[in-house]
Amino acid sequence: MKTNKTFIIVLSSALLVFFLIALNYYAFFQSEYLIYNLFLAQLIVFSLAACSILVHSIVLMLRKVKSPIPVITKIVILTETNVPLNEFSLHDKSSMLVGKSDTIYFRLEGDLSSDEYALLNRVENNWYIERLSSELSVSLKRAGEQYIYKLKPKMFYKLQVNDVVFIGNERLLIA
């Protein structure tokens, strides 16, 4: 929406500049009266102001063009050698509870003591993870980083594409 508004501003500025240049040309080359030459001086100043608005608008539009941020669409369960075992779509989800009981949507296998380990919540287009169990280790390895962060209970951590969440011995790739 903002790009459309910026485009309209740039287009209207360009049309204004074109109109003023044509008017300046007419006043300078077609007029024989001094009053028109004075008017021409005013139009030139106004044209320069309009040109600066046009250039400023173009610069602002180019600054706002950024590469799209990847959107999280699924969670992939990985093996210890990072081979995908299973995946869960997050397309129509607003939250997901991770645990081992049958009532939990995202079920993990293994000898784990607690039933609920982590909660994933979507706020607008961002996903966050909250560690629920204080008994089980829940960690986060950010994409492109070597360090693994141990998550504190009841705190929210923003997830990004290619982050890996470690819950006990399980690895969850955020994709």
pLDDT of residue 119: 87
> What pLDDT band is residue 148 in, cutting at 50, 70 and 90?
very high
Q: What is the pLDDT of residues 38-83, one digit of tens each?
A: 566 667 767 777 777 777 777 777 776 666 778 899 999 898 888 9
For residue 20, the model assigns a pLDDT of 66
Chain centre to alpha carbon of residue 163: 16
Q: What is the mean pLDDT of the chain?
A: 78
- DSSP letter for 89, please: E
pTM of the model as a whole: 0.59
108 or 167: which carries more pLDDT confidence? 167
Residue 150 has pLDDT above 80, yes or no: yes
Rounded CA separation 150/164 (Å):
12
The answer on pLDDT for 85 being more than 70 is: yes
Query: Is-contact 61 3, C-beta < 8 A?
Result: yes
Strand order in the sheet with 156-159: 106-107, 95-99, 116-123, 126-131, 156-159
Name the H helices within 33-99.
Answer: 34-64
Give percent of the chain with pLDDT exceeding 70. 68
Indicate the pLDDT class of residue 159, thresholds 50, 70 and 90: very high
Average pLDDT of the segment spanning 17-36: 64
